[in-house]
Amino acid sequence: MVRALYKKRDIITRLDEEFRVVGISDSRGYIYDGKGLNLEKLINIKRLSDYMAYHRGGSAEDLIEKNDVDLMVEATPTNIENGEPGLTFIRRALRRGIHVVTSNKGPLVVAFKELTNLAKMNNCHLLYEGTVAGALPVFSLVRKCLQGDKIHRIMGILNGTTNYILSKMYFEGTSFELALKEAQERGITERDPSYDIDGIDAACKIVILANALMNKDVKFEDVKRTGIRRITQEAVSLAKKANFAIKLIGIIDKRIEVAPKLVPINHPLCVHGTLNAIHIESDLAGRITLIGYGAGKETISAIMNDIFTILKDLRKS
């Protein structure tokens, strides 16, 4: 994040010459300087606590209370049980009229309507491009590039880990167990892989997509969810012989569902490895598919784009 802000400082300053990063917090404390932190120093230290004047024991909430904060980037770990601690931070910031950019699914899965209403009431941006499919700008695409279109259906491969496992089974003929083990060894999945392979992560993304882009009022429990635990090598091979691949697909139309589906091998959605893909059906454009990296360092592209959207909008008003 700091590295990207530093790299793009020239373009940022052209949009807002007074732009500065006044504070950053981690789970144990924060650093703050109303005149602006030294980004060049920051990219050369390993831990936030190596920066001078690290307030150990302080919290992000202290930073939100400072008077010179206009925009908060929230990137705490995802918690889909209660959205915390991100939910509290976002609520506080919006109530104080601070624009929010987040890459954290938790708060939006738990409280989408509450937060978007809170943002509207306080005349704030709440942007969350990084929450779904990492670097793929699906929210901006629909809102800024398909402004005349009505979206009928969204289908997507929204979880890179399960796509890695299913691709491994497809191309190398390995069993589910072996493919999962390799994904774990390569650090692609968590030690507890349930979040990915039981479709929980994909279902969270479906909740946000449905609420944000298709005007639904959907909660996590509303997603009909089947994971990939029971996908056998035999099933994958049979599908392959018929020119299909088995993919964990999230669907929003009349259905709100995450489940393994047979996808024709030549369908644009049929991407492999850790790639994500989102297929959008609309009244004017027909069918558009967006493919790219769904997680990892590329997510910074989404966060930066949200920041630029806010800076450009503030400059106009």
66 counts as catalytic: no
Cβ of residue 141: shortest distance to a second copy, in angstroms?
Answer: 6
Helix axes 200-213, 105-121, angle to 10 degrees: 20
Q: Does 251 bind a second copy (CB under 8 A)?
A: no
Structure tokens at 217: 């009022």
Distance of alpha carbon 268 from alpha carbon 279, whole angstroms? 8
Residue 117-136 contact track with a second copy, rule CB under 8 A, x = bound: ------------------xx
Across the strands, what pairs with 55?
A: 30
Q: Which of 174, 184, 226, 289 binds a second copy (CB under 8 A)?
A: 289
C-alpha–C-alpha distance, residues 201 and 194, integer Å: 9
23 pairs with which residues across the strands?
32
Active-site residue, from 105, 205, 247, 261:
205
Residue 305 touching a second copy (CB under 8 A): yes
Binding to a second copy (CB under 8 A): which residues in 135-154? 135-137, 140-141, 144-149
Does 316 participate in binding a second copy (rule CB under 8 A)? yes
CB of 289 to a second copy, least distance (A): 4
| Rounded Cα distance, 169 and 267, in Å | 19
> What is the total count of residues that contact a second copy (CB under 8 A)?
45
Q: How far is the CB of 135 from a second copy (least distance, A)?
A: 4
Structure tokens at 113: 């309507």
Contact 248, 159 (CB under 8 A): yes
Nearer to a second copy, 85 or 156 (CB): 156
- DSSP code of 143? I
Return the residue of 28, 51, 272, 314 that touches a second copy, per CB under 8 A.
272
String of b and e for 283-301 (b: at least 16 CB within 10 Å)?
eeeeebbbbbbbbeeebbb
Tokens of 169: 């089974």
Smallest distance from the beta carbon of 264 to a second copy, in angstroms? 10
DSSP characters for 217-253? ---GGGSEE--STT--HHHHHHHHHTTEEEEEEEEES
- Interacting span for a second copy (CB under 8 A) from 5-13, 26-34, 74-82, 213-221: 5-13
- Nearer to a second copy (CB atom), residue 262 or residue 288: 288
Nearest CB to a second copy, comparing residues 215 and 266:
266
Positions in 77-96 near a second copy (CB under 8 A): none
Instruction: Pick one of 174, 195, 229, 268: the residue that binds a second copy (CB under 8 A).
Output: 268
Query: What minimum distance in Å lies between the beta carbon of 134 and a second copy?
Result: 9
User: By the 8 A CB rule, do 167 and 299 touch?
Assistant: no
Q: How many CB atoms lie within 10 A of CB 270?
A: 17
How far apart, in whole angstroms, are the C-alpha atoms of residue 160 and residue 143? 24
Give the Cα separation of 135 and 300 in Å (integer): 7
Judged by CB under 8 A, the residue of 54, 89, 176, 293 near a second copy is 293
Q: Judged by CB under 8 A, does residue 43 bind a second copy?
A: no
**Residues contributing to the site for a second copy (CB under 8 A):** 4, 7-8, 11, 135-137, 140-141, 144-149, 266, 268, 271-272, 275, 277, 282-293, 298, 300-302, 304-305, 307-309, 312, 316-317
Q: Hey, which residues are catalytic here?
A: 205
